[in-house]
Structures are given as C-alpha cells and as structure tokens.
Amino acid sequence: MTGHIDIEQKIERAILIGLINQEQDENQLKEYLDELAFLAETAGAEPIHRFTQKIEFPNPKTFVGSGKLIEIGQYIRDNEIDLVIFDDELSPSQLKNIEKELKCKILDRTNLILDIFANRARTAHARTQVKLAQYQYLLPRLTRMWTHLERQRGGIGMRGPGETEIETDRRIIRDKIAKLKHQLQKIDKQ
C-alpha cells in the first residue's frame, strides 16, 4: 500500500499597495498591480485587496500617507490579512516603520521576486546565487529585525567587546556573502 502525505500549506492572505504619481498614472499602476498579484499568487499568496494612493512622492517614513496607513491597518485587522506587498522597493527604515504600525509581514516587489526565485531554484549554482542575492538584500535591512536588542554585549570567541547583536549579525551575514561568492567561483570553475 502506497500513500502520500498531503501537507497543506496555509495560503497567506495578502493586500497589494501601489502609488499613483508623476512616474506612473492609474493605468500603469493597474498594470503593475496586476503583475504584482500574479507574482503574489506564484509565491503562494492570495491577493485579497488593493490599496492605491495618489501622492506626489512616497512618504519617506511609511511610503504611503499616515491616513492611508491607518486605513490599511484597519483593513488588515478586519479581514485577517497575513501579508502586505508593496509594488515598489521600500527602504530599510520604511520597512521597519510599516511593520511597527501594521504588525504583519511586509514585502516589497524585490523581496517577493527573490522569494519566488528561492522556491524555484533547482541547481546548486542557482540556489547559491539566490541565497547570495537574499543576503545582499537583507544586510541593510537588519536593523528592523533587532530593534529590541539595542544593548551591547560581549561574547567569548564570537564578538569583540561591546559589539551589539546587530553588529554580530551583520558580520555573520557578510561572512556568508563572502562564502557564497567563493562557492559560486568554485561552481563556475567546474
């Protein structure tokens, strides 16, 4: 008797967010959000709703305006949303501020695409390239992950005196990046 285990992965409910501005009008944004919805579905998410805002420039703190962010937060709470995907690339500080306000997982287009590549990479070379890209993307965004660990700590053999958790993690990530680059060189020589 042969059988298989059917492991059902929870599909994340997502909302998509984009801006109408000088660089893109409503029609272009609709196209971009259609593409973003396709990418989200490819990654295994279910796009539930779209939020757009007409704004001259992205808010440097939260990408969208404060009123729109409140509206999005209310929608998330009312509709059990797991994931918010922004059509544009967010700065590390925007990611941190938005996560703090919305209290759910936040992705931008770049992060979503890297996730898709990671799930689809089959060869050792492809997996290594994707890991490298993910670490390079993650490095400047580490601050949002360690806001609760601002204290300095020393450690035996691992950290220098007074090195913070985030400095340790940055060093570890840089070491992994160097190692992955070395692995890629070895794979290329084969």
Query: Residue 61: pLDDT above 70?
Result: yes
Q: What is the mean pLDDT of residues 108-116?
A: 92
Among 2-6, 74-78, 94-98, which range has the highest average pLDDT? Answer: 74-78
Q: What Å distances lie between residue 3 and 6, 8, 22, 30, CA to CA?
A: 9, 15, 56, 44
For 94, the token pair is 């925007």
Rg, Å, the chain Cα set: 20
Q: Where are the domains of the chain?
A: 12-109, 121-189
Question: What pTM value is reported for the model?
Answer: 0.75
CATH topology (fold) of 12-109:
Rossmann fold (3.40.50)
For 149, the token pair is 């660990």
Query: Residue 12: pLDDT above 90?
Result: yes
Query: Residue 164: pLDDT above 90?
Result: no
pLDDT at 170: 81
